[in-house]
Amino acid sequence: MSTMSDDSLFFTPATELAGLIRARQLSPVELVTAVLARAERLQPTLNCFITLTPERALAEARRAEDAIAAGRPLGALHGIPFTVKDLVNTEGVATTFGAVIHRDNVPAEDAVSVARLRAQGAILIGKTTTPEFGSGPLTNSPLFGSTRNPWNLARTCGGSSGGAAAAVAAGIAPLAVATDGGGSTRIPAACNGVVGIKQSVGVIPHSQAQDLYGNQTYVTPMTRTVGDTALMLQAMAGPSPVDPWSIGLRSHDYVAAAANPGDLRGRRVLCCAAPPGRPVSADVARNFEAALRTLKDLGASIEYFDGEGFEVEPIWRAINHTVWRARFGPLVERHPDSFSETFRRQVESAAGVSGVEYQEAMFARSQLFKRVQALFERADLLAMPTLTRSAVALEQDLFAPLDIDGRPYENVRAHWYPWTMPFNMTGHPAISLPSGFGGDGMPLGLQLVGRFQDDAALLGASAAFEAATGFMARRPALA
């Protein structure tokens, strides 16, 4: 088997790598060896891994090569390296949840999503960084420090799937398992110029959720291209007895949807830059209008909606932080010095939420679903900026003011990513796509939202936008 020798290998989509491996033009052993070497070289700069698994990955790559030589049937991801966010269970590999107290936690089995990728032949190379229990939009923790953005090492990679996004953007591995409870895939995707989807509820079974019915967190794909996102989704999707929302869902050909996007003729797009009273930076406003022109050039009709009723951060917080307090409150009480002040403060903030207030937030969540459904009576897609400004400074704190064009705003969640949280709560599919760069040279993202359980159509529209723009061709200038 021959190999590709230059850096283009690291930015070749998994859809192409899989074909090269099948055609015996690329060796799984040489691919995994090269990717591991890149991970080890960039780790001191980016700090995007908590654990690397070189011995196991190379052993699996050798077995992958043997299977090709023996002519055995190959999975769709045979020999393709992937990473897993350290919130998601990996059998026999430390899963720390980004928390000091779980430094030595080793699960006995893979999460369903991970097991499905491995069943298709994908090879785990390591676990990526996350703030404690995925608790914020900035990837730092007392366990490992801070993860840096490959486009600018002085900026955050976003969060909470920051390590996943930084690794993908830096060309370390083409596929990453991330998670998203309020934007945790889409925020870092926008910060790092990659593709991050939060699929419809139930499409990828969530085997670690504790409240199965009220769950608003998702295990997700993170990749550089829409085609690779579809490839991951195809492998990870499908019913499982562990997730009630997954049972009975129709199967879809996500790969075909992304591979044959066509144009957007006849598609109606409703768009809004920000909910009422929320700012967007001048860069983001310009970029959003340019993205809307691209959608229009592809044949879509564009209409604006006012964003009324999408001030959801207080509702999201009442639900989410109450869940955190139930899960992590006892841990924080027993080991207060093991957690960051920011994490402790979030868990403690839920103490003031009564049972009645929690249930009122769930009622509001139901109304939000109906509001989104009403928009889709006159639209095929919703469009908005993923974030209201580019990646913030590395040292930004969740409880410090957020700077947008020189003005400070309190409440990072409400002002930086007002558009990600709603769709965790409603279950609609939402994707962040690279949409260009700001005056600071940092990536910006467009969020498209699809009809409930129509992830395939969303991927098709996303692939059309990607093909029309070509932003995926740009790479961060890492030494």
Q: Please state, as a whole number, how many other Cβ atoms lie within 10 Å of the Cβ of residue 473.
A: 8
Beta bridge partners of 196: 222, 432
Looking at residue 90, what DSSP letter applies? B
Strands 175-180 and 81-85: parallel
Alpha-helical runs (H) found in 70-159: 112-119
> What sign for the dihedral angle of Cα 343, 345, 346, 352?
positive
Integer Cα distance of 26 and 30 in angstroms: 8
Give the containing element (helix H, strand E) for 31.
helix 28-46
Q: Please state, as a whole number, how many other Cβ atoms lie within 10 Å of the Cβ of residue 361.
A: 20
Cβ distance 173 to 39 under 8 Å? Answer: yes
Find the catalytic residue in 27, 113, 160, 435: 160
Torsion of Cα atoms, 97 then 389 then 308 then 183, to 10°: -20
Long-range contacts, stretch 261-266, CB < 8 angstroms, 24+ apart: 261/460, 261/461, 261/462, 261/463, 261/464, 261/467, 262/460, 262/464, 263/298, 263/299, 263/464, 264/295, 264/298, 264/299, 264/300, 264/461, 264/464, 265/298, 265/299, 265/300, 266/299
Integer Cα distance of 235 and 203 in angstroms: 11
Alpha-helical runs (H) found in 237-312: 254-259, 282-297
Kindly report the three-state secondary structure assignment for every residue of 349-393.
HHHHCCHHHHHHHHHHHHHHHHHHHHHCCCCCEEEEECCCCCCCE
Alpha-helical runs (H) found in 183-338: 186-192, 226-236, 254-259, 282-297, 313-334
> What sign for the dihedral angle of Cα 376, 432, 244, 328?
negative
Query: Could you tell me the two tokens for 128?
Result: 């990526």
Amino acid, single-letter form, for residue 110: D
Is 127 known to be catalytic?
no
Find the catalytic residue in 27, 85, 240, 281: 85
Find the catalytic residue in 161, 184, 207, 240: 184
Is 200 known to be catalytic?
no
Is 435 known to be catalytic?
no
Counting Cα atoms < 13 Å in the Cβ hemisphere of 122 gives 29
Catalytic (active-site) positions? 85, 160, 184
